[in-house]
Amino acid sequence: MLRIKLVKSPIGNTPRNRATVQALGLRKVNHTVEHEDNSSIRGMIHHVKHMLLVTEIADSEAKPKAPKPAKAAPAPKAEKVAIEAKPNAAPKKAAAAKPVAEKKPATKKATEGKK
């Protein structure tokens, strides 16, 4: 197992190096992750070694990964209840219609100037 710690910010580096740091699972400076020791991880570490602190740890020393909590069952949907109108309620009055303003015809000066 490898314990990898980001000790330098990837801000001033190339986009490829920033993507490699992100692919290793490192988010912030001083963030630490543990990965299996294999050739693909070693290659990624080699490309961004100037930003990382890498230590080898024994498998017994590694922190066990916590299982993800199971998703809770969705809450039952509320039933729709029909609301009955009260017999004594007065009907609402319709909103008064507003008079529509008439458009003014275009003047000759406005249309003649564009010839």
The 10s digit of each residue's pLDDT in 36-80 is 999 999 999 999 999 999 999 988 777 777 777 777 777 777 676
Q: How many domains does one find in the chain?
A: 1
- DSSP 8-state code for residue 11: T
Tell me if 17 is assigned to some domain: yes
Per-residue confidence (pLDDT) for residue 111, from 0 to 100: 59
Distance, in Å, from the CA atom of 47 to the CA atom of 13, rounded to the nearest integer, reads 11
Tell me if 42 is assigned to some domain: yes
Per-residue confidence (pLDDT) for residue 27, from 0 to 100: 95
Tell me if 8 is assigned to some domain: yes
Q: Does pLDDT of 88 surpass 80?
A: no
- DSSP 8-state code for residue 53: E
For residue 16, the domain's CATH number is 3.30.1390.20
Per-residue confidence (pLDDT) for residue 87, from 0 to 100: 66
Tell me if 99 is assigned to some domain: no
| 71-97 residues labelled b (16+ CB within 10 A) or e (exposed) | eeeeeeeeeeeeeeeeeeeeeeeeeee
- Domain coverage including residue 32: 2-56
Tell me if 62 is assigned to some domain: no
Model confidence pTM above 0.95: no
Distance, in Å, from the CA atom of 37 to the CA atom of 76, rounded to the nearest integer, reads 46
DSSP 54-108: EEE--TTTSPPPPPPPPPPPPPPPPPP-PPPPPTTPPPPPPPPPPPPPPPPPPPH
Tell me if 21 is assigned to some domain: yes
Per-residue confidence (pLDDT) for residue 19, from 0 to 100: 96
Average pLDDT, the chain: 81
At residue 93 the predicted structure's pLDDT band, cuts being 50, 70 and 90, is low
Tell me if 94 is assigned to some domain: no
